[in-house]
Amino acid sequence: MQLFYNPNINEATQEFSFSKEESKHIMKVLRKSIGDVLHITNGNGFLFTAELLYLTPNKCTAQITSSTLQHKRQYKLHLAVAPTKMNDRYEWFLEKATEIGIDTITPLICDHSERKVVKLERFERILQAAMKQSLNCFMPKLNPATTFKAFMAQPKDTVTYIAHCETQDKQSLKQVIKPQTDVTLLVGPEGDFSSKEIALALQNNCIPVTLGETRLRTETAAIVACHSVAFINEL
């Protein structure tokens, strides 16, 4: 099934038109014809079935024929992850986390961060593509990049964990997370969080955790955490 994304449609929508780029793809690549059925999501959990009414390379118009609401996970996962030095590694994390299941992503600028500027528009496109590829009808929320200090100052409405490499008492993430419980997890940059940041996190009631016995790259750690939370909620 080919899934399209349009954030502007809802249950009240009867007809809508695809963008020029999508219209060209529908006609030239997918070779669709008038009367063919397409599937669209608005990223808020709805899967719409639509029938093509009008078809040109510049504009395709479809009529909504039915809609269903996709089952929502019983937990919310927020990963605050430091941007990696190599941008393609962070983009890989965004793609895979969307496929596994994630609700919110915050690029976290830390003391040891080598990359402090991110391209949110490109990140959004990667999230959209991963959502469509995995047939997921929930679009993850991408927050603006924020500093570690500013993130700590924000109100916390979930249990918050920090995964770091310093030698101190830490619990395994898989042992402390509970099913159907919202989770926020912080993952640091190459070089890890600074001692100052770890101390600030502990002052703000963040729970220190380990993701395993080996040292993981930033993007690998984020995916391990994402999968661990998903796995615990499937048991």
First and final C-alpha spacing in the chain = 28
With 0.85 as the threshold, say if the pTM is over it. yes
Phi, psi of 112 (to 5 degrees): -95, 10
d(CA 220, CA 116): 19
- Nearest partner of 77 among 99, 45, 96, 105, judged by Cα: 105
Q: What is the tens place of the pLDDT at every residue in 165-218?
A: 888 889 999 889 999 999 999 999 999 999 999 999 999 999 999 998 888 999
Question: Does the structure show a pLDDT above 70 at 235?
Answer: no
- With residue 159 as reference, give the H or E element that holds it: strand 159-163
Supply the pLDDT for residue 57: 86
- Nearest partner of 184 among 81, 71, 59, 62, judged by Cα: 81
73 in Cβ contact with 231 (< 8 Å): no
Supply the pLDDT for residue 184: 97
d(CA 62, CA 32): 12
Q: What is the dihedral angle through the alpha carbons of 206, 212, 216, 218, rounded to the nearest 10 degrees?
A: -30
Q: What is the tens place of the pLDDT at every residue in 55-80?
A: 888 899 999 999 999 988 889 999 99
